[in-house]
Structure 1
Amino acid sequence: MARYHEVYRRSLDDPGAFWREAAAGIDWHTPFTEVFAGERWFPGGELNTCYNALDRHLADRGGQAALIYDSPVTGTRRSYTYAELHDEVARTAGLLKSLGVRRGDTVVIYLPMVPEAVVAMLACARLGAVHSVVFGGFAAPELAARIEHARPKVVLSASCGLEPGRIVEYKPLLDAALAASAHRPEHCVILQRPQCEAAMGEGDLDWATAVAGAEPAGCEWVAATDPLYILYTSGTTGMPKGIVRDNGGHAVALHWSMAAVYDTGPGEVFWAASDVGWVVGHSYIVYAPLLAGCTTVLYEGKPVGTPDAGAFWRVAGEYGVKTLFTAPTAIRAIKKEDPNGDLVKDHGLRYLFLAGERLDPDTYHWASDLLGVPVIDHWWQTETGWPVAANCMGLEPLPPKPGSPTVPVPGYDVRVLDENGAECPPGVEGAIVVRLPLPPGTLPTLYRDHDRFESAYLARYPGYYLTGDGGHLDADGYLFVMGRTDDVINVAGHRLSTGAMEEVVATHPDVAECAVIGVADELKGQVPAGFVVLKSGTARPAAEIEAELVALVRERIGPVAAFRRVSVVARLPKTRSGKILRGTMRAIADGRTYRPPSTIEDPGVLAEIERALRSG
């Protein structure tokens, strides 16, 4: 670990020199006067993120593929060179400029996974406008709340989005959101898709016609501390919580991460199998690969599950993907449909990175054995924008420890604190925090709500950023993230991690997916309840498997876990991005009034969970 330790210590002992060196990978219009001052990175510097993602590559790699679009739901495959993507972005920026969008204005983007979504984000960055991408699965009330809070001058949307077997009409959702919002944008530009063309209203503009008549726009130089985008956290209730990302720190950190964490450089192909509406899509579909001169893949559809559990491997092999980044849920879904890996062909991958939720050791071993390449768990958040803990393959590959995202990434001074703010010894669980200042690229504030930023993230442990996750560091400095701190349950005075129980349950050979939540118990305060989805083809009685799981947890964790309730279910409630809705499950268990998130994949599954809970 000598190389890693050297870089990590330098990032903490002399962050000014460390990030000054990293900033040399970005083209600056005006050099920054200081690396860090007044809680902000690179003050005094001016740059343009779109210029760094596109324009500066034109001389050396204008003919190289910048974006590959693969859409099995429409039967479309298309590649854009850096020159072609630059031209599309410049014309779209020209359209926005003609509609009055200027530096500092906000633009809401409500689009499916189509090239225009990438173009729209980069076009905003080109003008110095602040984009706010709203995930295409959000319903009208959530979209309305974000429009009202962001106050966009323009909304960019589409007639529809496509999912396997169904069409989602976006325009009626947008119209309903605008009717419910107190803010009215000056213009809505609609991308008409042939699968379902939308009726246009007064003031609506057709995307293709409007862009065709626009003059290309150049780059506007902005301050490094100016915002690039606002991203509202998924599952927001009440007032939306808008994560702000600045231009300078974001560009520096993401460019550095591509080489140091992902070991992926100019000309190589990177695929983040996510959605542009989430932080992974912002960081690692759009910005980071293009800042690094890579080719990025944009996939429209669900690359897992029936009918095509082999889509990951098909896309990877067809386009020469070096690095694939997805969620553990996706790999577990593939494992459920294709447990023996019969669909795995010549994938050509060099790395598989996983993040978004805990990677259970069983899934880690299955993927490692099947693919024969490094499977790297890593951990980060919407708030951080790039990895907090990882096995940094571009610095020094470290021995993996299943269940751990490995070690803190340079720039992040990660600690584990107890309730009194004292550091926990190795192996003892507590709150995972990051000692201030946070590195570049992380959130400097919440949009129009700095007081909330301080109360939510900084007040609990002064001098530290509170991640909201619990876990521990081991004697070797490896971080183990056991889940949100509200996933820690108190069983008869014993604090227990439901994540640790999930880890045990997932090792059962018949289990494809699982979730464990805390439910109220008259005697013990809380007890854990488990829900499992079995692998395809499992014919054994559910009661038999449930009994084995209870015995397994008792064996691995002990009777103190009080793990006696487990139910086999057909599926778990998830968002369309694949995250299990544990919070909603806890609300059902507690008998609280809840509203299913608009991003839920299948609302009907909640009734099955409720029946299982009521049955005991």
Structure 2
Amino acid sequence: MASRYHEVYQAWRDDPEGFWSEAAAGIDWSKPWDKVFDADRGVFGQWFAGAETNTCYNCLDRHVERGRPGQAAVIYDSPITGRCESYTYAEMLERVNALAGVLVDRGVAKGDRVIIYMPMVPQALMAMLACARIGAVHSVVFGGFAAHELATRIDDCLPKAIIAASCGIEPNRTIAYMPLISTAIEQAAHKPDFCLVFQREELTADLVDGRDIDAGAAVQAEMSKGRKVPCVPVAATDPLYILYTSGTTGRPKGVVRDNGGHMVALKWSMSNLYGIEPGEVFWTASDVGWVVGHSYIVYAPLLHGCTTVVFEGKPVGTPDAGTFWRVIADHGVSALFTAPTAFRAIRKEDPDAKLLGQYDLASLRTLFLAGERADPETIKWAEEHLKVPVVDHWWQTETGWCIAGNPVGLGLLPIKHGSPTVAMPGYDIQVLDDAGHPVPAGTLGNIVVKLPLPPACLPTLWGNDQRFREAYLLEFPGYYKTADAGFCDEDGYLFIMSRTDDIINVAGHRLSTGAMEEVLAQHPDVAECAVVGIADQLKGQLPCGFVVLKSGVDRDPQEVERELVSLVRQEIGPVAAFKVAVSVDRLPKTRSGKILRATMRQIADGEEYRMPATIDDPGVLDEIADAIRARGISRSS
């Protein structure tokens, strides 16, 4: 169908408050707003000021009341444990209601904070919704995070309680959570009142007397009472959750998400951006510890009356590179949302997609990619084999939902590989030079969003308005600084090339590492790659490309490296000064799949670096250091 995007986007521009007021009709309110947007409240204004609502009610109760009690709300699929479970909306409500009762009976009230330290199990969603039900503010910390990182978050948000699982399960290891929690509590100045612990069969925890409570037993006891714990009305502008951004130093940076605007934007996005109808199965292959998991595993699908999939596994190795296809086929998934790195891993292990032929993917209509830059070669591979639109879109922890995308529900716009397409309603995206002046189409610059930010975007940082201003608003007055670099073309399509920190300066020329990665990814033997700028006395910085070759490539890696150097010089030119490509077995990544480019650069430059809290396997950094030393490109070698 012809796209309605331009019409809808113009409607927002013409009347922003009218646009979001109409979108807010998709949410149930216990009290209407005084103002759709109050510019005098908060740091840059607040949405739906004066209104009251409850997020848990909108996710569960209203669907049970209005015809969906027997529909599956949550499907849990764990190839790691071999378990598959389904919970209807009525069953989810029963368990969330009981868990809320357990919290209330132990003194957790509206405005109290609760840290959730969980793996990818249904109880993580139940814990988030139980907090929302009673007006408590949850802060999900990725299960297995280091004790010190957990301690800094405890001291920042001062939680009344911690809800945890006894362990997390990886393909080749089991991680005991309670020793990490105990160490974190010992290190923290603030001491939570109690810990609720869901015991897992694979590794049960020894509970600390007077502190730890068996959550499963407590919930079962509460369910037997049969009492109803009412949803607590909260202000639309009250916080729903705090999510700490990864890689912080010093005091952690807690992104705040409010209740009202958050629900309005996410509910709007499900039909208009993702093209999903209530009752369909929406699978986001991420983790509840990240913003994508918050928004599109938990809240958006349930607000919309969909079935959401909670997947405890990996794109490869659980058991093979066909596990995504198996989940789609088994559960009738309509749309898959994951990170590009997942498809790069699948492509590396099964470059010809032979495993795809074993499964019926007739239900799948769309693949959505986000979380890091989606290189064109990965998108083309997915398009070729899946035969469905592959939609890249761009957003951040801070925004909570899409900044730029291709709105499937409004009718797809032409796809341009390498571009997340166009700004969504609510976002006035501009590209500025370092002095804050607009740059011409096609010119690399700083990507910013004109204030005010739309509903669901962070109103501030937890307990630190000044840091919010300094981090996001001061450098470009009147704009939100995304800290991403890129350009807009003549058609208004946005291209995200890198983080601004990843723009390298080679003899006075500002060059995008993302553009070089695009070229490297075109080589038929390359599965994935990362380009970083390393210090050079003559030119300031020089690019260095790290490449992982596809499985089954039977060639001398140095021959491939020479071809890659020639390819970059051919495609970008000698100005790139690209002279070094290094083959490695794997790249260092966070658990969400983001490549740790800054840490790689620090290793190459011989700088001291802090072990990233979110790193998936710290041993990869030693492999990178060895590869750098072997090539003689480290300043510390």
Please, what TM-score do these two structures have when normalized by structure 1? Answer: 0.99
Written as runs of structure 1 = structure 2, the 5 A alignment for 1:68-467 is: 68-202=75-209, 203-214=211-222, 215-305=227-317, 307-344=319-356, 345-348=359-362, 349-467=364-482
Matched residue type, 2:67: D
Q: Counterpart in 1 of 2:51?
A: 45
Shift of 1:605: 1.3
Q: Counterpart in 2 of 1:503?
A: 518
Give the 3-state SS of the residue equivalent to 1:394 in structure 2.
helix
Give the Cα–Cα distance (whole angstroms) in 1 for the partners of residues 472 and 317 of structure 2: 37
Matched residue type, 2:221: G
Q: Counterpart in 2 of 1:534?
A: 549
Give the 3-state SS of the residue equivalent to 2:402 in structure 1.
coil
Q: Counterpart in 2 of 1:8?
A: 9
Give the Cα–Cα distance (whole angstroms) in 1 for the partners of residues 36 and 475 of structure 2: 27
Matched residue type, 2:329: G
Give the 3-state SS of the residue equivalent to 1:402 in structure 2.
coil
Contact 1:389 1:406 in 2 (8 A): yes
Q: Which of 60, 63, 75 is the matching residue for 1:54? A: 60
Give the Cα–Cα distance (whole angstroms) in 1 for the partners of residues 507 and 519 of structure 2: 21
Contact 2:315 2:345 in 1 (8 A): no
Contact 1:305 1:337 in 2 (8 A): no
Give the 3-state SS of the residue equivalent to 2:93 in structure 1.
helix
Contact 2:285 2:336 in 1 (8 A): yes
Q: Which of 507, 516, 535 is the matching residue for 1:520? A: 535
Q: Counterpart in 2 of 1:34?
A: 35
Q: Counterpart in 2 of 1:574?
A: 589
Shift of 1:47: 0.4
Shift of 1:530: 0.5
- Tell whether 2:497 aligns with 1:482: yes
Give the Cα–Cα distance (whole angstroms) in 2 for the partners of residues 138 and 582 of structure 1: 20
Contact 2:135 2:233 in 1 (8 A): yes
Matched residue type, 2:34: T
C-alpha distance 468-307 of structure 1, shift in aligned 2 (>3 A): same
Shift of 1:216: 3.9
Give the 3-state SS of the residue equivalent to 1:468 in structure 2.
strand
Shift of 1:259: 0.6
Matched residue type, 1:303: P
Shift of 1:302: 1.2
Give the 3-state SS of the residue equivalent to 1:346 in structure 2.
coil
Shift of 1:305: 4.2
Moved more, 595-604 or 350-359: 595-604
Shift of 1:424: 1.0
Give the 3-state SS of the residue equivalent to 1:42 in structure 2.
strand
C-alpha distance 307-74 of structure 1, shift in aligned 2 (>3 A): closer
C-alpha distance 415-504 of structure 1, shift in aligned 2 (>3 A): same
Shift of 1:595: 2.0
Give the 3-state SS of the residue equivalent to 2:530 in structure 1.
strand
Give the 3-state SS of the residue equivalent to 2:229 in structure 1.
coil
Contact 2:79 2:319 in 1 (8 A): no
Matched residue type, 1:223: A
Contact 1:490 1:496 in 2 (8 A): yes
In structure 1, stretches of 5+ residues that fail to align are: none
Contact 1:305 1:334 in 2 (8 A): no
Contact 2:297 2:309 in 1 (8 A): yes
Give the Cα–Cα distance (whole angstroms) in 2 for the partners of residues 433 and 12 of structure 1: 17
Give the Cα–Cα distance (whole angstroms) in 1 for the partners of residues 258 and 614 of structure 2: 27
Contact 2:144 2:180 in 1 (8 A): no
Shift of 1:346: 1.6
Shift of 1:217: 1.2
Shift of 1:8: 0.7
Give the Cα–Cα distance (whole angstroms) in 2 for the partners of residues 411 and 418 of structure 1: 23
Give the 3-state SS of the residue equivalent to 2:142 in structure 1.
coil
Give the Cα–Cα distance (whole angstroms) in 2 for the partners of residues 365 and 308 of structure 1: 22
Contact 2:527 2:549 in 1 (8 A): yes
Contact 2:486 2:496 in 1 (8 A): yes
Give the Cα–Cα distance (whole angstroms) in 1 for the partners of residues 355 and 480 of structure 2: 43
Give the Cα–Cα distance (whole angstroms) in 1 for the partners of residues 316 and 19 of structure 2: 40
Give the 3-state SS of the residue equivalent to 1:134 in structure 2.
strand
Write out per-residue CA displacement over residues 550-599 of structure 1, whole angstroms, 9 at most, x where no aligned residue.
00000000000000011000000011111111111111122111122232
Shift of 1:12: 2.0
Shift of 1:265: 1.6
Q: Counterpart in 2 of 1:472?
A: 487
Shift of 1:453: 0.2
Matched residue type, 2:584: V
In structure 2, stretches of 5+ residues that fail to align are: none
Give the Cα–Cα distance (whole angstroms) in 2 for the partners of residues 235 and 70 of structure 1: 30
Contact 1:7 1:410 in 2 (8 A): yes
Share of identical aligned residues, percent? 64
Coordinate RMSD, CA, aligned: 1.0
Written as runs of structure 1 = structure 2, the 5 A alignment for 1:552-563 is: 552-563=567-578
Consecutive aligned runs of 4 or more in structure 1 exceeding 6 Å deviation: none
Give the Cα–Cα distance (whole angstroms) in 2 for the partners of residues 208 and 613 of structure 1: 49
Give the 3-state SS of the residue equivalent to 1:24 in structure 2.
helix
